[in-house]
Amino acid sequence: MIKLAVPKEIIDFERRVALTPDCIKPLLKMGINVFVEKGAGELSSYSDKDYSSLGAKICSNSTELYRNSNLVVKVNRPTIKGKINEFSKINEKSDIIALIYPDKFKKEYQMLKKKKNNVFAMELMPRISRAQSMDVLSSQSNLSGYKAVVDAASFYNKAFPLMMTSAGTIPPAKVLVIGAGVAGLQAIATAKRLGAVVFAFDVRSATKEQVESLGGNFISVADDDGGETSGGYAKEMTKNYKAKQAKLLEETLSKIDVVISTALIPGKPAPQILTKKMVDKMKSGSVIYDLASEFGGNCELTKHGENVEYKSKFIIGPSNLASTVSQDASRLFSKNILNFLNNSTENGKFNDFNWDDELVAGTCLLKNGKQNNLKG
């Protein structure tokens, strides 16, 4: 019998929960009993009653929750905060599913190795078509791209859309989105809905069609290199390309009001694209919203978790942006997890992970505490 434990997240600024009530009944049909720590869903507007009314059992504390559990589902990696030590509570019979990021959170990763659990890192989900419904990074980035534009609009001290009034005409804001991945494309769509004129830059020339389909204007560096890996991610570019890129952006930024920056390279710090010199040439009152701040930032002036004012310009480094729309973010995360578990069912029942499946193998970071496929 599978006992799935859903703990309350303890990471700072985290309001999401790993499983939402709508996924309880499908899990029960799969033969998985769901146990939820008291108050786990409150910050996402899901009450204990919402869970219990659908068949989940509410545990009064984490000790009770983890007892005899054999599957732990979290948003974030297990950690230690104050007197709470999640590593000491999770037993070694439990498989763990969460966002792990071993390169960034090395201390926690080493502690997970000592526990000898099977650990599935959802950020490692292979980018193939049948994995789309399980792709946590995409579901969360989609919401982050939306929220970035909404937040940036609140910092910007002018209106976004064109307005023609009896007192005069207000021109539309000009928005530049750097990085046309999932977050970037949603940012383009949201900025267009708000009435802005949108430009987009990405090293991957293949994204041009997607940008233009959303009403954005694609700007690019003339280069023979496609700018992407075989997996569809952006890759590190040459020095020659970076010089051309800097010149193009410097010219463009002088006309831009709001920048939404989303550029990331998997497994590496975020590429630093916007220099202080470029920011100097931007208009007073302009806003840079740096979604890459958690991984070092795309702007030289970004400080993660802070709002920096520099020469009447604002550089925002948000913390855990998806968490600020926690109800929807949790619901999508939960569906990703449900689909991932359903992928290993046999005749509708889940007994164990299908270790022959490429999605299971691809996300398994640790197998019995040992690096799997040389990951990590």
- Kindly list the catalytic residues: 127, 132, 135, 138, 233
State the Cα–Cα distance between residues 336 and 322, nearest whole angstrom: 15
Which tokens sit at 333?
């995360």
Strands 258-261 and 287-290: parallel
Please say whether the beta carbons of 292 and 298 come within 8 A: yes
Question: 207: which residues sit within 8 A by CB, 6+ positions away?
Answer: 180, 181, 200, 218
Q: What is the 3-state secondary structure (H, E, C) of 39-89?
A: CCCHHHCCCHHHHHCCCCEEECCHHHHHCCCCEEEEEECCCEECCEEHHHH
DSSP symbol at 227: -
Which tokens sit at 7?
């703990």
Question: 168: which residues sit within 8 A by CB, 6+ positions away?
Answer: none
State the Cα–Cα distance between residues 192 and 210, nearest whole angstrom: 14
In 3D space, the residue among 357, 334, 371 whose CA is nearest the CA of residue 51 turns out to be 334
Please say whether the beta carbons of 261 and 289 come within 8 A: yes
Strands 84-85 and 80-81: antiparallel
Q: Which helix (H) or strand (E) holds 316?
A: strand 313-316
DSSP symbol at 368: T
Cα 107 vs. chain centroid, distance in angstroms? 21
List, in sequence order, every residue forming a beta bridge with 263; answer none if it has no partner: none
Q: Which helix (H) or strand (E) holds 165?
A: strand 163-165
Instruction: Give the Å distances, CA to CA, from 99 to 108, 122, 148, 349, 364.
Output: 12, 5, 21, 25, 12
